[in-house]
């Protein structure tokens, strides 16, 4: 059996919703960041799969993937700076402990 | 079943298993290691699809950069060996249900839709082709997004330093 586009879409969708599940259940900011990375990776996989199977005459999916990787790196760096700052002021990175703006 | 098919299924199972473990394990350090293996598996899928440049970028940026950054932040913010607290069962059940429903909906749409591929001659995704088009200013050139992303990276770098820097008062308190 030949591997088609649907197999890759199944893989990327499953990975996306694994990330969403982690996003819902986790309380720790670092683990939430890991879930976001999984989601971003599934999106990259989607772009590459569409480029490979539907538009092999172009390279647009490759460029989108490269730019998403660059933006994800910037996002991770900023998120970790925020996490370290939060830990410094709250001695914890649990999202339930940072609730000054809630009430 | 050809060898290529078997390799794809092995890689897919590896990615999904490690991804699942990364979001469910209660040891935060192990979660980072499972995430690392999942990202390596995705790089393997890119190699399998013969996009070697993207696979190399994936390994360099994600495995070599982001995961190391995450591990550093774990060391800076967690007491080592401490397990994360258990989640409420209701939250786990409803999150799994929501994720599964979303997954089922998307897959239903995917299987009902027929994708039509182009019949034109494929372009090789070599580094030379990618580089020429990325820095091209003619049609389908990506020079402007390239410059915008470079500005974004600079802004993110400055922002990180400003956010993580101690205020002058904290530094003087620390010295006393």
Query: CATH topology for B1-83?
Result: 1.20.120
pLDDT, residue A21, reads 94
CATH architecture for the domain at A5-90: Orthogonal Bundle (1.10)
Q: Please give the pLDDT value at position B81.
A: 64
Q: Using one digit for the tens of pLDDT, what is the confidence trace for B38-76?
A: 999 999 999 999 999 999 999 999 988 999 999 988 888
Contact map slice: A 24-43 vs B, CB within 8 A: 24-28, 30-31, 33-35, 37-38, 41
pTM of the model: 0.89
Between B117 and A65, where is the model more confident? A65
Q: What confidence tier does B105 reach under pLDDT thresholds 50, 70, 90?
A: very high
- Could you tell me the residue ranges of all domains in chain B? 1-83, 84-113, 126-176
pLDDT tens column, B75-102:
888 776 677 778 888 889 999 999 999 9
* Dihedral pair phi/psi, residue B84, rounded to 5°: -70, 145
- This complex has an ipTM of 0.91
- The DSSP result for B107-164, as a single string, is HHHHHHSPP----SPPPP--HHHHHHHHT--STT--HHHHHHHHHHHHHHHHHHHHHH
Question: Chain A window 70-99: which residues touch B at a Cβ cutoff of 8 Å?
Answer: 70-78, 80-85, 87-88, 93
Q: Where do the domains of chain A lie?
A: 5-90
B85 to chain A: which residues are within 8 Å by CB?
A: 27
- How does residue B176 score in pLDDT terms, banded at 50, 70 and 90? low
What average pLDDT does the segment A11-37 reach? 93
Query: What pLDDT is recorded for position A74?
Result: 92
């Amino acid at each position: 059996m030949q591997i088609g586009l649907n197999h890759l879409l199944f893989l990327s969708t499953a990975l996306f919703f694994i990330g969403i599940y982690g996003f819902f259940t986790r309380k720790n900011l670092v683990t939430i960041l890991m879930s976001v990375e999984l989601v971003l990776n599934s999106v990259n996989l989607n772009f590459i799969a569409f480029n490979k199977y539907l538009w092999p005459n172009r390279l647009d999916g490759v460029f989108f993937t490269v730019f998403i990787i660059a933006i994800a790196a910037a996002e991770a760096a900023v998120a970790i700076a925020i996490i370290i700052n939060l830990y410094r002021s709250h001695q914890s990175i649990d999202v339930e402990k940072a609730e000054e703006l809630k009430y | 079943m050809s060898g290529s098919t078997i390799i794809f299924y092995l890689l897919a199972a590896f990615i999904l298993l490690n991804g699942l473990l990364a979001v469910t394990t209660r040891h935060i350090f192990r979660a980072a290691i499972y995430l690392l293996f999942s990202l390596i598996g995705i790089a393997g899928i890119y190699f399998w699809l013969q996009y070697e440049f993207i696979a190399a970028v994936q390994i360099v940026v994600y495995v070599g950069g982001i995961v190391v950054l995450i591990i550093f932040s774990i060391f800076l913010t967690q007491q080592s060996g401490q397990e994360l607290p258990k989640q409420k069962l209701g939250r786990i059940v409803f999150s799994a249900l929501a994720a599964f429903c979303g997954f089922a909906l998307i897959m239903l749409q995917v299987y009902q839709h027929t994708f039509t591929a182009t019949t034109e001659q494929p372009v090789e995704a070599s580094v030379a082709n990618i580089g020429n088009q990325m820095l091209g200013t003619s049609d389908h050139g990506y020079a402007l997004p390239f410059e915008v992303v470079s500005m974004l990276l600079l802004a993110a770098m400055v922002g990180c330093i400003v956010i993580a820097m101690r205020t002058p008062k904290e530094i003087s308190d620390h010295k006393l």
